[in-house]
Amino acid sequence: MKIFTSILFLLFFTGAVFSQTQNDTLFCYHTKIPPTIDGQATEECWANAEWNTIDQVWIPWGTTMKDGDFSGRFKVAWDEDLLYVLVEVVDDSLSDDYSNPLEKWWEDDCLEIFIDEDRSMGDHTYNYNAFAYHVSLFYDAVDLSPTRNPVNLKNNITVEMDTIAEKTYLWEFAIKNYDARFTMSQAERSRVKLHHNKNMGLAIAYCDNDETTGRENFIGSMVMTQAQHNDMYKNADHFGLMILIDPEQVSTGVSEIENGPELKIYPVPVKDYINLEFTSTKRSESSVSIFSITGQLVHKSIFTGSKHQINTKDLNAGIYVVKVENDEQIITKIVSKR
C-alpha cells in the first residue's frame, strides 16, 4: 500500500518538463472530472499534468524563432469519451486574413492537432486513418477529406481560447475520437471510447502568420528531418507515441499496451532484474528502453536473440514503461518495481 501511494504521488506531483521527440513517450492521465472548456485551465487535471514543449521549427526547417515571436507548450488528459488538450501560446501578432475557413487555412495563425486514434501510423492522404485539425482563431477545424477537398470538422471538437497575459493565449480542447471508418454524415458510428493502456499518436503544431498574407513559420512538438518536415498533414508515421494511463488501474503486474510477437517480462513485479524473453526464436537486433512514468529515459541497451536481462537494482520503486523495438515491431509494456 505504501508503494502504491508513493506511485500516485509521483504521478500527480512531478514537475518535470520534457520535450517530445520520436524517442519519447507522452503519458496522458485519466481525469474523473472533465474540464470545463472555457480557456481558463482551473481544473485539477491541468494542475496535475505536465507541460510538453512546441519548439521544433518545421518551416523554414532548421531555423530558430526570434525571441518574443512565438513559444508554445501543451498538456493532455482524457476520459472515456474525450481527449483533452491544453495549449499555451505566446504569439506577438495574431492574424486571420482569409474569411473563408476552407481557403488557404494553413496561411493564417492556427493551431494544429494531429491525432492517430490507434497509432496505426501510415498515410492518411485519402482516408481518415488519422486527423490533422487546423483550428483557426474562429474555431474552425479544417482537414482534408479522402477526396482531397478541405472540410470543416468543427463538430469533432469543442474549443475555447482566452487571453491570459500580454500576447499570451490559452487554448482548451475537448476532442472526440474516431477510427478510420469516420464519415461526416455518420460520425457516431466510428466513435471510439478511450481506455487505460490505449496507444495513440499525437503531435501539436502552430502556423505563425505575422500580419502578412502567408505563413512565416510552422512550429511543432516533434523532431523532424528535412525530408519529412511538412509530412504530418498526410502521414502519421512521426506522430508522437501517447499512452493513456488510469492510475487506479495500474496493477503490480505487467500489462501489454501494443500488440506484436509475444514478449514475456518477469519477475512480476520487478525486483533486482528484468528478464525479457520472446516466445518465438528471435535473432535480429533489438533495443530496449525503460522510461519513468514522467517520461525520463532511465535505461537503454541493445541485445540480439530471444532473451535479455537488465539490472534494475538502482531503479527506485515505482511504475516504468519498457519499450522494445526492432525491425519487425514495437512492443511497449508497463511494469512496476518494488
Q: Dump pLDDT digits (tens) for 169-214.
A: 999 999 999 999 999 999 999 999 999 889 999 999 999 998 788 8
Is the omega angle on the peptide bond into residue 267 within 30 degrees of 0, that is, cis? yes
Domain encompassing residue 192: 2-245
233 and 276 inside one domain:
no
Report the C-alpha gap between 20 and 203 in whole angstroms: 9
pLDDT confidence of residue 130: 98
241 and 256 inside one domain:
no
- CATH of residue 328: 2.60.40.3080
Please tell me the total count of domains within the chain: 2
Q: In this model, does residue 332 exceed pLDDT 80?
A: no
177 and 320 inside one domain:
no
Q: In this model, does residue 137 exceed pLDDT 60?
A: yes
- CATH of residue 107: 2.60.40.1190
Report the C-alpha gap between 27 and 243 in whole angstroms: 5
pLDDT confidence of residue 294: 66
Q: How does residue 338 score in pLDDT terms, banded at 50, 70 and 90? A: confident
Report the C-alpha gap between 87 and 207 in whole angstroms: 14
194 and 317 inside one domain:
no
Is the omega angle on the peptide bond into residue 150 within 30 degrees of 0, that is, cis? no
Q: In this model, does residue 268 exceed pLDDT 80?
A: no
What spatial distance separates the first Cα and last Cα of the chain, rounded to whole Å?
Answer: 11
157 and 92 inside one domain:
yes
With a pLDDT cut of 90, the percent of the chain lying above it is: 64
Q: Dump pLDDT digits (tens) for 109-127.
A: 999 999 999 999 999 999 9
Q: Dump pLDDT digits (tens) for 34-70.
A: 999 999 999 999 998 889 999 999 999 989 998 889 9
| Inter-residue contact 206 to 93 (CB < 8 Å) | no
pLDDT confidence of residue 328: 77
